[in-house]
Structure formats: structure tokens, C-alpha cells
Amino acid sequence: MQLRYNYRAYPDASQRRALAQAFGCARVVWNDCLRDRKEAHAAGGPYVKSAELSRLRITQAKRTQERAWLAEVSAVVLQQSLRDLDAAYKNFFDSVKGKRQGRKVGPPRFKSKKDTRQSIRLNTNAFTLQENGTVYVAKVGNLKVTWSRRLPAAPTSLTVTKDSCGRYFLSFVVETEPDILPQVEAECGIDLGLCAFAVLSDGRKIDSPRFLRRAEKKLKRLGRELSRKAKGSKNRAKARIKVARQHARVANRRRDWHHKASTQIIRDNQAVYVEDLAVSGLGRTRLAKSVHDAGWSTFVGMLEYKAALHGRTLTKVDRTFPSSQLCSACGLRDGPKPLHVREWTCSECGTVHDRDHNAARNVLFEGQRVVATGRVETLNACGAPVRRAHMPAQRVEAGSPRKGQTTQAGIPGP
């Protein structure tokens, strides 16, 4: 399976200029090729092939006076930019034809030099890992890297990224074998919420850290300082970087906390069951800031790829399942309840339920039922899994919505 490893890089002044030039050349090739395809489509012509665009916008463009500076960067950067455009068009066409699940994907858009995030992508022909710990990038030089951990295998591709606050990162894609953990008997259902970030079916509660809420006072102050600066001035650019850095700190803390919590849950349980929440819809309600601060999608995505990596089972229960309305003791459906009702008593068996704990237990029972009914499709005659879930190398949220259907990832448990 493919994994992505991300490291902080520290280029010097000349290397930053070379990277800025590479970012700009990749952006120009993207925009030129996208413009040719849009003009051909508007004129009623056929779809322009990649080979023709490579010849016109890369090979021949280097020989012209207007685009002669394209020859100053690695040719791999320009070719990969064209391949990324092809991938964007493929995703768009697959989405239109219904071959791609999840949200509809729009057509590719033009890139701007004012975008706060710039990146280039390289294959193994354009970068090398040196023995002294640096990474050689073609036409840039040896980049100093902070290695937080070793790469498990030789990388197959490299993405160099500059984020909104001016930091540089190297992202390696590595082909590795799954690291199967010893089997355990425990299974758990998870009810995600805002008062408590997660409540497990065994009664444990994971408090919500609320990183954005805790940093909100400082962010407001920095935002006021930014609004006072004149547009286009250097002081405004400095103030914008301060705001971006504060947001980056919040995101880093949240990501680190998500990794620790998801790893602990995967290690302690053979099977994990979680609700397939409509986060995009909840993000448009009055609770939007709290929903985005919790980061449910990122957390579930981490559970998904770690389950596949460590040989665990992750099952998503349909979002229409009434987990808060059912009694986990007798199964009576007691009807919907407003959010301020945190405890309720079952009218059938008299059991007093904590709302979140009861929902987590119902998610556990429903997930076990789904796995039991789908066991024939996931195991062969010998009891071994037929196939392992494919996990793409993504840096951000993994997975996509399943149109309300229950999905599974990883290897089914015993």
C-alpha cells in the first residue's frame, strides 16, 4: 500500500528563488495547457491530447523568446504539471459520468501566482536522497531536511510545497507492506459529538480539545491588526503571515491530537464502528465553527487508513441509522429527542441512558450486524480476506462520501 511521509525543509535564499521559479513555471504550463483545451472546447474542436500539448507548450515553448525561461527549471516539473492537469480532467469526466463516488468534481481552474500555497511534483528522475541527510532536487540543489523518522522504503515520488505562512515541506510517497498488529477481542462503536469529541461504547469519553476556540482571542486580535494595514503594503503582507502562522499552529495541534487518538483506538480494538456523518451539511448550520474545529472527517479518515495499515476493521454505519432514538438494552425506538436532552429513560424497560453512550452502543450493534451479514463477501472459503482495501496516498482528508451507504475498510476481524 502507499503511504505519504511529510517533512519540513529549510532551503537557503538561492534555493528559495529556484523553487519560486519552479512553482511559477509549473503554474504557467498548467494555465497554457488548460487555456488550449478550453479554447478547443469552445470552438467545438476535439479534446487536445497530452502529447500535442507537451510538444506545443513545453518543447516548442522553450525555443520562443516569451517562454525561454521554461528551460531554466527541470523538465520533470513541467511534465508532471501536465500530468496533474490530465488527472484533474479525468476526475472531472469520471464525476460527470457517475464513475466517481462522492461530491461532483468541477473542471480544472486556472492557477494564480497570488495563491498562498504553491507546489511542484517530481518523480525519481529529478530527486535523490543523499547520505548526509539532504535531498537533492534537480535545478534547485541539496535541501536541508528535518527527518522526524526514517522512510520505510525508497520513495517513488516527491512533492515540494510552500504553504501560506512561507514554510516548505517535502512529501514522499512510499510503497510499503501493511504492518499487521496482533489480534485482540475488543470492538467498539464511536459516537462523535461536540460536548465530548467521541464517546466509546465501553463508556470512555474523549474530551474535545477545541483548539480553534482556545486560539480565537489571539486570532481576533491579529485579524484586527491585519484589517488596519493598507492593501498592497508590506506591512499588510507581514500581518497576513502572522495570521497564517497562528492558523497553522491550530491545525498542527489538531492534527497531532487526531493522530494520537486514532492510533490508540486502532491499537486497542480489532473492529471499530463509526457513524457516516454528513459533515458538509453540518458545516452550514449555526454550529459550523464548532463542527470544523472538531475535524470529524479528518479523524475518521485517519481511522480508515490506519485500519487498513494495521489489519483492523473499520465500518461506517449509515447516517440515517437512528442511533440516538433506540434503546440499546431492549431495542425500543423511543422517537427523536432535542439536543439538550442528555439523559432519557426507556419507556419499555426503564433503563436510564446517557444519550451519547447509548448512541455509541447502538452504533456498535449496528456495525456488528452489517459485518455479519456481509461476511460472505469479504472472506473466502478458508476464512482469509479476499482483498485488502486500497488506500491512496493523500495528505489531507482520506476517503469520500458514500452516498449514504455503509462502507468497510481493512481486514474483517474474527
Residues acting as catalytic residues? 191, 275, 356
The grid coordinates of residue 57 equal 507548450
User: Which residues sit opposite 168 in a β-bridge?
Assistant: 9, 162
- Count of residues making up the chain: 414
CA 27 vs CA 31, 55, 69, 87, 172: distances in Å:
6, 17, 13, 15, 21
Q: How far apart are CA 131 and CA 146, in angstroms?
A: 14
**CA triple 262-329-373, angle to 5 deg:** 65
Backbone dihedral angles phi then psi of residue 395, each to the nearest 5 degrees: -85, -35
| CA 120 from centroid of its chain's CA atoms | 18
| Cα-Cα-Cα-Cα dihedral sign, residues 104, 106, 112, 114 | negative
User: In DSSP terms, which residues pair with 7 in a beta bridge?
Assistant: 170
102-113 b/e with 16+ CB inside 10 Å = b?
A: eeebeebeebee
Backbone angles phi, psi at 69, to 5 degrees: -70, -10
The sign of the dihedral angle between the CA atoms of 350, 355, 361, 367 is positive
Residue 268's contacts (CB-CB under 8 Å, 6 or more residues apart) are 184, 186, 188
Nearest Cα neighbor of 401 from 285, 281, 311, 293 is: 281
Q: 318 phi and psi, to 5 degrees?
A: -55, 135
Determine phi and psi for 136, rounding to 5 degrees: -85, 125
Cell of 88: 484533474
Question: In 3D, which of 53, 33, 37 has the Cα closest to residue 45?
Answer: 37
Give CA angle at 243 (237, 246), nearest 5°: 140
Q: Give the separation between CA 86 and CA 65, rounded to whole angstroms.
A: 27
Secondary structure (3-state) at 173: strand
Q: 120, 23 in Cβ contact below 8 A?
A: yes
